[in-house]
Amino acid sequence: MSNHPLHRQSSASKPASSVAISGNEDREYAVSWPDYELLDAGDGKKLERWGEVITIRPEIQAQFKPGWSWLEWQDRAHWEFVELSSTQGSWKNLKPNSPEHWQIAYEQLQFGLKLTKFKHVGLFPEQQANWTFIAEHLQPGQKLLNLFAYTGAASLVARAKGAEVVHVDSVKQMLDWANDNQARSGLTDIKWVLEDALKFAKRELKRGNHYDGIIMDPPAWGLGAKGEKWKLENQLVDLLETARGLLNPGGFLILNTYSPTVALADLALAAEACFAKNQIELKQLWMQSKTGKALFYGNLLRVRAQICN
């Protein structure tokens, strides 16, 4: 299934105040880096710096007062995304000659960014928390499976560590974008798979293949490579069971949920149906702005242990 921006409801989970279960209320904060910064958030929007380019984008979780005034936002920003519907919109140019295509770095990796009609620009910066986890836990020669893989940041982080990487997405344009990022970063040999993520994972299970790391960033809803309808809440347990079968002993699983119909408690129940409780780590994913505003980015599951039979 695709992680196409059209189908991914960025930060569209239930508000953080309603997503909590006893003993599992830990927050993990993604952090800014030299080429990316969450500058401010509030009034249903967020202000971000991507290299030298600053954007204003809608943000459903930013239902609080921003740190800076709207005039300050507009004075800083190059582009503002204006929603035309729940899934599409257009970019309003706020400064003449602002680029529509540009490049930023994350450590030694390079990413091509561009304005899209889905408000995204080609990178989900809150995933920095997971990129760090992958870099710390994956060893050279180990294997990573990246499902719903989008433009490939997690794949590039793993490949830069010397891992073998299989990158799966059902939208060819996303694979092309990811391959371009691989070339920009001076990397090679990521295996690109144009396929429905869950179907591919099940075939890998039948083939007896295993992985040392699996990352899944599934959309809340969407369409498969052949138009199949998808709702995350209907597929969650199947995804986790399949991932369990694919994991090598000692391997790790990372799963993010952005679906408004999958609360942290739902994620916990699905995880406990597939893994032992002591294997499971549940968190909320957050990022803090330069102005001190804390922004919620969805729920995060990590599994780090032997396969539970």
CB atoms within 10 A of CB 23: 8
Among residues of the chain, what percentage have pLDDT more than 90?
77
Q: Model confidence over 160-190: pLDDT tens digits? A: 999 999 999 999 999 999 999 999 999 999 9
Provide the CATH topology of domain 16-32+124-304.
Rossmann fold (3.40.50)
DSSP 211-265: EEEEEE---SEEE-TT--EEEHHHHHHHHHHHHHHHEEEEEEEEEEE--TT--HH
Produce one character per residue of 245-265: b if its CB has 16 or more CB atoms within 10 Å, e if not. bbbeeebbbbbbbbbbebbbe
Q: Model confidence over 91-120: pLDDT tens digits? A: 999 999 999 999 999 999 999 999 999 899
Dig out the tokens for 223 from the structure.
């369409």
Domain layout of the chain by residue ranges: 16-32+124-304
The rounded distance, in Å, linking the Cα atoms of 242 and 50 is 36
Q: Is the pLDDT of residue 242 over 60?
A: yes
Angle between helices 153-160 and 172-184 (to 10 degrees): 40
Q: Model confidence over 35-83: pLDDT tens digits? A: 999 999 999 999 999 999 999 999 999 999 999 999 999 999 999 999 9
- pLDDT: which is higher, 30 or 22: 30
Exposed/middle/buried for 283, CB within 10 Å: 0-12, 13-18, 19+? Answer: middle
